[in-house]
Amino acid sequence: MFLRFVPWSGKDPVRDTLGCLRLIACREDTARALPDDLAEGAYEAWQKARRDIFDEWAFATDPANLQPKVRPALRAAADNIRKFPPPGVSQERLVYLLESLEAPWGARIERAIREAMEGLTGSAASASVTEKVKLLGLQPYRAPDPLPPIETDEIVLVCWMAVDSEAAK
């Protein structure tokens, strides 16, 4: 299910659910009314929402768009391990280690890996990173499967609501 808030101003639709819900929040005693211009604008708003949902879905059908964004320190650690493989690590474990580093981890993990390499070079840095990966329990990233392609007519409207912030004042 996709939720969209289509601003009357013509700006891009709001995609995130919490953002949409914040925009439609009102009090229990808020007056309910549907001015003609808002009712007529519902059709255009639905077309914008449908197009935006289609675009988001189409983006998720391309495997290239699902590849992880690897932070710089994690890329550097993986490059170091490729140049200076830790001694005694099997080829299988090396691939596991590299796939665990080349993943979309956040700043906290990046900082921990950077600290593990701090002041070290070559094999010593690789050994330190290997231990840190094990300590943090990092695992290889598996990109989600791409979504199947769809047509815009497969996107159906379940519910809509018009919100007039001017009328609420």
Q: Is the pLDDT of residue 166 over 70?
A: no
In this predicted model, what pLDDT tens digit does every residue of 112-153 receive, in sequence order? Answer: 999 999 999 999 999 999 999 999 999 999 888 888 999 999
Evaluate whether 129 touches 117 at the Cβ level (below 8 Å).
Answer: yes
**Own/partner long-range contacts of 51-57 (Cβ < 8 Å, ≥24 apart):** 51/152, 52/4, 52/12, 52/13, 52/15, 53/2, 53/4, 53/155, 54/150, 54/152, 54/155, 56/2, 56/15, 57/147, 57/150, 57/155
Distances (CA, A) of 47 to 7, 125, 153: 13, 55, 11
Between residues 48 and 169, the one the model is more confident about: 48
In this predicted model, what pLDDT tens digit does every residue of 57-91 receive, in sequence order? Answer: 999 898 888 887 899 999 999 999 999 999 888 99
Q: Is the pLDDT of residue 28 over 90?
A: no
